[in-house]
Amino acid sequence: MVKVKQKTLYICQQCGYESPKWLGKCPDCENWSTFQEEIRQEIKKGVSAGRTAAKVSPLFSGESEVLPRISTGIAELDRTLGGGVIPGVVVMIGGDPGIGKSTLMLQMLDKIDSKSDLFYISGEESKSQVHLRANRLGLSGQNILFSAETSLHSLIALLEQNKPAAVVIDSIQTLNSEEIDSIPGNVSQLRTCTAALMRFAKEAGVPVFLIGHVTKDGSIAGPRVLEHMVDTVLYFEGDQQYDYRILRSTKNRFGPVNEIGLFQMTKEGLQGVANPSEIFLSTGESQSSGNAVVAVMEGNRTFLVQVQALVTKTQFGMPQRTASGIDHRRMNLLLAVLEKRYRKPFGFHDVFIKIAGGLRIDEPAADLGICLALVSSLEDKLLSEKSLYIGEVGLGGEIRGVNRIDERINEALKLGFEKIYIPKRVKVSGDFKPSQLVRVGSLADLVK
């Protein structure tokens, strides 16, 4: 006989921590006022006597299995996914509202070369709204079918009946299961709906793309277990004041992690950018002091970006410090090194730093270029527009080595840079001319 018992639990909406009573502060993620009451049904059954043993097979059977990949028709998206879509993969894509998640998914469905139907499931927009966006983007939409279904069981029945070539769910927070007594977007609802879609994708071999909302700190809304359940997690990054978007892979079971794709938002939708360095460099413009070019790594790609610094005498007692595109704490650290080691009077000047193009850089390889841009603006002396600077600056003013130096040098030479300043002790394996590389041991070699 089956016994059904109801149990009341309080679940944290941030991390999924369960408690038998309400708590003001979650002991796991330490967030306040995140517990919500849920009623869960527990079904107790007798344990069956007969059990079937699990099956095993040799890991290396002599033949390497090649996973088939389906091109999405968008080169930058294929690059981020590791070369295309694997049948049965579940991809979670997150990003700020209005950054282009739905637009990219619509473009992907329109460009996938498939004779089967493609499903776009939206619980947030009506058919007319999605149709207007598709017309604005100039999409044909021949095989795209739309549904506004939000019931999990009805949706699974629809997908099992039609077996589409690909499915987009916009968004996972709008789905709800009748078996869970809670509102859509709840932790239990998210886990149940994601698990059901995972089972369908694996059994039917259909790729499923889940669009997820993000929280204030930029992470996908819901417990972190969602990111562990799916096969691939992609994040859309970018400033809405600029046209450029970065699609970053933070998890990929079928490809490399930290791969990125670069897109430009146009009136025809998101367009892939093949050569990002040409975008972030101001070529052919009048040169001024305070400009330096650095080579940074975004994922597995090399970007050449321009660092702009402006140093002026302060008009008030407390000098201003403003940084756009870099961490202001790193700017303060580099200013302290220049003041302490080389007697540069930044304490009496306002300092402004900006990364051209709206890109944000975090790696220390840009330290050398930032320091030289600051000194260039302070002393109003031009840096050569054909020079590029690579290196991390230590607290003593020494220039430390960085990784993947050959890739950075090759990208600079490809764009016509003549002098590349690199750390003195870094090893270079490429066949470069001695006149192209200038080795620097400390900031004193350049600042003085």
Domain's final residue, options 274, 309, 330? 274
Lowest-pLDDT choice from 152-156, 274-278, 352-356: 274-278
Look over the chain and give the mean of its residue pLDDT values, rounded to a whole number.
Answer: 86
Q: Does one domain contain both 171 and 86?
A: yes
Query: Would 267 be classed as within a structural domain?
Result: yes
Q: Does one domain contain both 246 and 395?
A: no
Query: Would 49 be classed as within a structural domain?
Result: no
pLDDT at 42 over 80: no
CATH code of 267's domain: 3.40.50.300
Instruction: Considering only the C-alpha atoms of the chain, give the largest distance between any 2 of them, rounded to a whole number of Å.
Output: 87
Q: Does one domain contain both 147 and 235?
A: yes
Domain's final residue, options 209, 240, 274? 274
CATH code of 328's domain: 3.30.230.10
Condensed to tens digits (0 to 9), the pLDDT of residues 123-133 reads 989 999 999 99
Query: Would 365 be classed as within a structural domain?
Result: yes
pLDDT at 283 over 70: no
Write phi, then psi, for 216 (nearest 5 degrees): -65, -35
State how far the Cα of 337 lies from the Cα of 344, in Å rounded to an integer: 9
The pLDDT of residue 39 is 72
Query: Would 63 be classed as within a structural domain?
Result: no
Query: Would 333 be classed as within a structural domain?
Result: yes
State how far the Cα of 80 lies from the Cα of 75, in Å rounded to an integer: 9
Q: Is 397 left (phi over 0), alpha (psi -120 to 50) or beta?
A: left
Domain's final residue, options 228, 254, 274? 274
DSSP 349: E
pLDDT at 264 over 60: yes
Query: Would 402 be classed as within a structural domain?
Result: yes
Query: Would 283 be classed as within a structural domain?
Result: yes
- Full residue range of the structural domain in which residue 157 is found: 75-274
Radius of gyration for the alpha carbons in the chain, expressed in angstroms and rounded: 27
For 269-300, what is the HEC assignment? EEEECCCCHHHHCCCCCCCCCCEEEEEEEECC
The arithmetic mean of pLDDT across residues 227-246, rounded, is 85
Q: Does one domain contain both 358 and 414?
A: yes
Condensed to tens digits (0 to 9), the pLDDT of residues 54-78 reads 888 787 766 656 778 999 999 999 9
What's the number of domains the chain is made of?
Answer: 3
When pLDDT is cut at 50, 70 and 90, the band that residue 350 belongs to is: very high
Q: Does one domain contain both 335 and 413?
A: yes
Condensed to tens digits (0 to 9), the pLDDT of residues 140-150 reads 878 899 999 99
- The string of DSSP letters for 372-383 reads HHHHHHHHT-PP
Query: Would 67 be classed as within a structural domain?
Result: no
Condensed to tens digits (0 to 9), the pLDDT of residues 73-95 reads 999 999 999 889 999 999 999 88
Tell me if residue 353 falls in helix, strand or coil: strand
pLDDT at 356 over 90: no
DSSP 47: P
Q: Does one domain contain both 237 and 313?
A: no
| pTM for this model (two decimals) | 0.80
When pLDDT is cut at 50, 70 and 90, the band that residue 285 belongs to is: low
- 398 vs 359, residue with greater confidence: 398
Q: Does one domain contain both 87 and 217?
A: yes
pLDDT at 328 over 50: yes
Q: Does one domain contain both 204 and 183?
A: yes
Q: How many CB atoms lie within 10 A of CB 357?
A: 18
Percent of the chain with pLDDT over 90: 51
Condensed to tens digits (0 to 9), the pLDDT of residues 179-209 reads 887 788 788 888 889 999 999 999 999 999 9
Is residue 302 within 8 Å of 359, Cβ to Cβ?
no
When pLDDT is cut at 50, 70 and 90, the band that residue 383 belongs to is: very high
For 150-188, what is the HEC assignment? CEHHHHHHHHHHHCCCEEEEECHHHCECCCCECCCCCHH
Percent of the chain with pLDDT over 70: 91
pLDDT at 43 over 80: no
The pLDDT of residue 1 is 46
Q: Which helix (H) or strand (E) holds 8?
A: strand 3-12
**Token pair for 133:** 């966006």
The pLDDT of residue 219 is 62
Q: Does one domain contain both 268 and 119?
A: yes
The pLDDT of residue 48 is 52
Q: Does one domain contain both 270 and 285?
A: no
Q: Does one domain contain both 176 and 102?
A: yes
Q: Does one domain contain both 223 and 314?
A: no
